[in-house]
Homo-oligomer: A and B are copies of this chain.
C-alpha cells in the first residue's frame, strides 16, 4: 500500500504557502491504531480530525441489531472526521482501522484558528466538504434508486477506473465489507456475484480479482436500464 509521509503531500493541504504547512506541522499529533481498533465512535466528542498516513480506515453506522452501513473507506492522504470539527461537537459515525493505521491528528481549536487565518486553507476545506457531500448524494441515490446488482455493477466499474489493469480490478476490501459498503449483506452479494458470473458479465479471477467481461451490460445495470437474468 502507498504511504504519505509529508503533510504537504495531503491533497487537502495542496497549494498552501510554506508558512501554513509549517503551522500545520506545529499542531499535528501522529497516531497509530492496530487493525480492528476503533478510532472514534458515533456520538463521541469530536476533539479534532484525522488524515490517513498509511493503512485503511472504514467509517460506518451501526443499527441496534448489529447491521453496519459503511459510509466511506479512506486510504493514505484522505481526511476523515473533519466535518465534526466545524459543527457538531460529536462524531456522526464510527471509524475503525481495517488494517494497521497511522494518522495525523489535528486538534479542533488549533486547526480552526489556522483556517480562520488562511483563506486558501478555508477554500480547500470547503472544496473537501463539498466533494464529500457529492459522494453522499451518489450513495443516497444508489441506496434508494438502484437495486443491489446495479450498485455492485457501479462499484466494479468504479474500481476498474481507479486501477491500472482496468479489465480485472482487485477488490480492495473483503466481500463482507463490500456488502456493507453497498448497503446489503454478504449472502446477497455472494448470490449476485454468482448470477453475474452465470450471465457472463464477470468472471471471478485469482483471489479478489474480478474480471469484467461485459462492460456494456454492467454499465446498463449500473444505470438501472437492465436487470439481471
- Residue ranges of A at the interface with B (Cβ–Cβ < 8 Å): 61-65, 67, 69, 71, 83-88, 92-93, 112, 115-117, 119, 122-123, 125-127, 129-134, 136-141, 143-146, 183, 223-225
From known contacts A123-B115, A144-B143, A183-B144, infer whether A129 and B133 are also in contact, taking CB-CB under 8 Å: yes
| Cβ–Cβ contact A140 & B61, under 8 A | yes
| SS class, residues of chain A in contact with chain B | helix
Among candidates B85, B117, B130, residue contacting A84 with C-beta atoms closer than 8 Å = B130
| Cβ–Cβ contact A141 & B223, under 8 A | no
**Copies held by the complex:** 2
Among candidates B83, B112, B126, B143, residue contacting A86 with C-beta atoms closer than 8 Å = B126
Q: Chain B residue with minimal CB distance to A225?
A: B64
Among candidates B67, B87, B116, B140, residue contacting A119 with C-beta atoms closer than 8 Å = B116
Q: How far is the CB of A160 from chain B (nearest CB, A)?
A: 22
Chain B residues with CB under 8 Å of A69's CB are 140-141, 144-145
Among candidates B61, B86, B116, B119, residue contacting A127 with C-beta atoms closer than 8 Å = B86
